[in-house]
Amino acid sequence: MRKLRHSKRVEITLIDRRNFHLFQPLLYQVATGALSAGEIAAPLRAIFRRNRNVRVLLGEVTGFDLTKRRVVLDRLPNGGEPRVLEYDTLIVAGGSSYSYFGHEEWRRLAPDVKSLESALDVRRRILTAFEAAEVELDPARRAAWLTFVVVGAGPTGVELAGQIGEMARDTLRRDFRAIDTRSARILLVEVADRVLTGFPPRSSARAKVALEQLGVDAVLERRVVEIDTESVTLAGPGGEAQIVPARTVIWAAGVVGSTLAAALAGQSGAALDRVGRLPVGPDLTVAGHPEVIALGDMVAVHDEGGRPVPLPGLAPVAMQQGRYAARLIRDRLDGKRTPSFRYRDKGNLATIGRARAVADVKGLQLSGFIAWLTWLFVHLFYLIGLQNRVLVFIRWTFSFATHGRGARLITGAPKRPR
């Protein structure tokens, strides 16, 4: 999008449900009080204010008509007919959500960290749990308030568990009078046999050690079979069940493609894969519709031979695909052929806590302070807007110097008491 905005040859309409771009990779820092919500979001209209060929439209896409080349949107706030837009080229980047493995009722018990709202809900729950423990006299109940379960040990789960560990071990240590926050248990539940399965095994092992130093127990080869308001039930490969009393559960597992993938599949006749992703060709277009480009977490890229290309569900992939889509459109206007999309793996980064991270950059596996510094500057670089970069840099500097988290606020009333 940003690659096309200076082109006078195209008219762009950007449709989004939200009026801001959210930098998802740092959302877990909002959930743990390290950053304030506004610091990782940039208003879309502000980004494109000087690009008269870009129109921003706030709305939810409810369907497509690929034959008539139309996008169907929700109704206007004051009612009327659903809005319809025509296109020459359509780019769909609907992202992904968490599946809860068919247990939609777990969503309210174990929120995810996918939207600003759910991140603030998670922040409220984590901080409220420490407050409840501080005034709880019964040791078993207090221990349940001080037990935090993170489900899924991908980058988001690992980073989240590490941050909760750091809060308990460091940030909040001197905040309370009745409890020792360092006694908090943080369980990182993962169905695979290691954390960060997208990284090489050596990085996984290093991440596990770093997590343990922050008091995070990686509970491997276990899946969640039940969640209620007071506990989580885990089952091992043999099926043996274990009940963990815990009042705070956070979900970061089971990524599935956006419902927009299904809407496109219904129109194009393509079949979604088992995690709800739409198959697209080597040029990211939908079969039979070269004018429809789909990208990001919601697609499974296939090569010239029709074989799926394994790509991680990470921001760098989606960003490179976005730039590729812009190039494809420019090349078509120029009558040029565009080579197939190739993901350039510039490396994989995950931070675990203060000055701890793992990095896997072109076969070089870094950890510790250097990996953490790399992580820090890469994330600052990709944040949109100079102002947000400066604000986040200042937050991080203060956090590093004072071991604090300035945004640990309990806001928003719980919609349903847990």
Q: What residues line the site for its own copies (CB under 8 A)?
A: 18-20, 33, 35-39, 41-43, 45-46, 49-50, 52, 55-59, 76-78, 83, 116-117, 127-128, 131-132, 134-136, 141, 172, 174-177, 385-388, 390-391, 394-395, 398, 402, 404, 406-413, 417
Q: How far is the CB of 404 from its own copies (least distance, A)?
A: 6
**Cβ atoms 166, 126 nearer than 8 A:** no
Q: How many CA atoms lie within 13 A of 53 on its CB side?
A: 12
159 catalytically annotated: yes
Q: At what angle do helices 155-166 and 201-213 cross, to 10 degrees?
A: 20
Both tokens of 99, joined, read 């599946």
DSSP states of 301-359 as a string? EB-TTSPBPP--SSHHHHHHHHHHHHHHHHHHHTT---PPP------EEEEEETTEEEE
371 Cα distance to chain centroid: 21
Among residues 174 and 274, whose Cβ is nearest to its own copies?
A: 174
CB of 70 to its own copies, least distance (A): 17
Q: Closest CB to its own copies among 51 and 267?
A: 51
For the chain, give me the number of helices (H) and strands (E)? 10, 24
**Tokens 């499974």 belong to which residue?**
300
- For the CB of residue 11, give the shortest distance to its own copies in the complex, in Å: 11
Local structure of residue 236 (DSSP, 8 states): -
Amino acid identity for residue 21 in this structure: H
Single out the catalytic residue among 11, 105, 159, 230.
159
We find the least distance from the C-beta atom of residue 198 to its own copies, in angstroms, to be 30
Residue number with CB closer to its own copies (17 or 202):
17
| Residue 418 Cβ vs its own copies, minimum distance, rounded to whole Å | 9
The amino acid at 62: T
Active site (catalytic) residues: 159
